[in-house]
Amino acid sequence: MAATFDKPSPLQRILPIFQGFDGWLLFAILLMAGIGLVAMYSVGFDHGTRFSSHGRNMLLAAGLLFLVSQVPPQRLMSLALPLYALGVLLLLGVEFFGIMRKGSQRWLDVGATVIQPSELMKIAMPLMLSWWFHRREGQLKPLDFVVAGFLLIIPVALILKQPDLGTSLLVLSSGLFVIFFAGLSWKLIVPPVVIGAVAIVALIILEPQMCAPGVDWKVLHEYQRQRICTLLDPSKDPLGKGFHIIQGMIAIGSGGVWGKGFMQGTQTHLEFIPERTTDFIYAAFSEEFGLVGVLCLMGGFIFLIVRGLLIAVEAPTQFARLLAGAVTLNVFVYAFVNMGMVSGILPVVGVPLPFISYGGTAMVTMGVGLGILMSIAKSKRLMQS
């Protein structure tokens, strides 16, 4: 009789909350978070409060990951249209009433705080397109892809106009991943890829003429043109616009196989690497941990991405599959673009390295995205139990 009235222990009350969590995904997240904290302490221990702030941002992201993971995919689907509409309205608000900072109009004053609406679209865009293709499941027509293209291009164009090339590329890629996974024909994918490859080769060949002073590319802002020209030949302005790329490559090369050691990077701590705790932290990481450390970092990202794609494959609905695939490959885009721009193979566009770079907004967005992925993994596990 007494056992009937026994109260469950605190542990028994907490465990059901974590029921269905994907253990391998959680392990991958904790692994990357650990690498991020070690890296931030190593390169930023003498950089004010960056390490403690980075830890705080991770805790905030972890809290959001946990909260979002409790929301079932069906509920997430019902939020797709409202979030997308809100994001577009806020982007229009930035266009007409936005705050100008450092030559860009990306922020909106909403009274209590200042927000950057483009960050919302990193989540709202894949949600919206996943919802759209889920509704059209079993009856897809070419017109459905055209509509998806319009839904994608509207926010991307508004973000480009701010201008914010880095964020626009991330939003664009998140939408394109959904469209690709929804069944876009390879006949429509190959021609743009070929045209892009030809354009890159032509740009490399014609670099002296295209990057000459006074040449206007029309389709890009002047600062964007300068970034591409600097990428093609950073030695033209080694102490100016080419400084970031040159110093990043020097730091990466100086790390060698084993690196200079924990907290021992000379390029890093003598302030030769600009933005060493944010956009260019990969260069500082490479200097201190070398090729071995970089391979471990890449291995962690690959493990996380592969696990995410497996969750996408096993997801119970079309909406969940498309969303999980897009969220997972967004992590790949973040990592690839950051490592590429620091290594001198892509233009500098201000994209952080997930888990590693300092930045509250990017960390929060990552936490929400991984929370969505965990929610989808939970839904499959709970259906099987």
pLDDT of 139-172, one tens digit each? 889 899 999 999 999 999 999 888 888 899 999 9
Residue 238, pLDDT > 80, answer no
Closest by CA to 98, choosing from 171, 169, 164, 166, is 164
145 assigned to some structural domain: no
Domain tally, the chain? 1
Residue 244, pLDDT > 90, answer no
| Top-confidence range, 184-188, 196-200, 331-335 | 331-335
Instruction: List, for residues 286-297, the tens digit of each pLDDT value.
Output: 999 999 999 999
Phi and psi angles of residue 106, each rounded to the nearest 5 degrees, phi first: -120, -10
Helix runs in the chain, H state only: 10-14, 23-44, 50-69, 73-97, 117-135, 142-160, 165-181, 186-205, 207-210, 222-232, 243-254, 266-269, 281-314, 318-343, 360-384
Q: What is the pLDDT of residue 81?
A: 95
Q: What is the pLDDT of residue 9?
A: 66
141 assigned to some structural domain: no
Sheet holding 104-109, edge to edge: 99-101, 104-109, 114-115
Helix (H) or strand (E) holding 346: none
Q: How long, in residues, is the chain?
A: 385
Mean pLDDT (whole number) for 55-76: 93
Burial bucket for residue 165 (CB in 10 Å: 0-12, 13-18, 19+): buried
Angle between helix axes 23-44 and 360-384 (nearest 10 degrees) is 160
196 assigned to some structural domain: no
Range of the domain at 64: 25-37+50-70+234-385
Could you tell me which residue, 329 or 347, shows the higher pLDDT? Answer: 329
Q: What percent of the chain has pLDDT over 90?
A: 50
Residue 4, pLDDT > 60, answer no
Q: What is the pLDDT of residue 137?
A: 86
Q: What is the pLDDT of residue 14?
A: 63
Q: pLDDT confidence of 108, banded at 50, 70, 90?
A: confident
Q: What is the pLDDT of residue 381?
A: 65
Q: pLDDT confidence of 8, banded at 50, 70, 90?
A: low
Q: What percent of the chain has pLDDT over 70?
A: 93
Give the end-to-end CA distance of the chain in Å, rounded to a whole number. Answer: 31
Q: pLDDT confidence of 1, banded at 50, 70, 90?
A: very low
285 assigned to some structural domain: yes
Closest by CA to 338, choosing from 261, 258, 238, 252, is 252
Mean pLDDT (whole number) for 48-54: 87
Instruction: Please name every residue paired with 104 in a beta bridge, in sequence order, or none if there are none.
Output: 101
153 assigned to some structural domain: no
Contacts of 372 (CB under 8 A, 6+ apart): 68, 76, 123, 323, 324, 327
356 assigned to some structural domain: yes
Residue whose tokens read 């024909």:
185
CB 80 within 8 A of CB 175: no
- Out of 98-107, 277-286, 304-313, 371-380, least confident range: 98-107
**Predicted TM-score (pTM) of this structure:** 0.88
56 assigned to some structural domain: yes
Q: What is the pLDDT of residue 207?
A: 80
358 assigned to some structural domain: yes
Taking all residues of the chain, what is their mean pLDDT, rounded to a whole number? 87
Q: What is the pLDDT of residue 28?
A: 96
Closest by CA to 201, choosing from 235, 232, 173, is 232
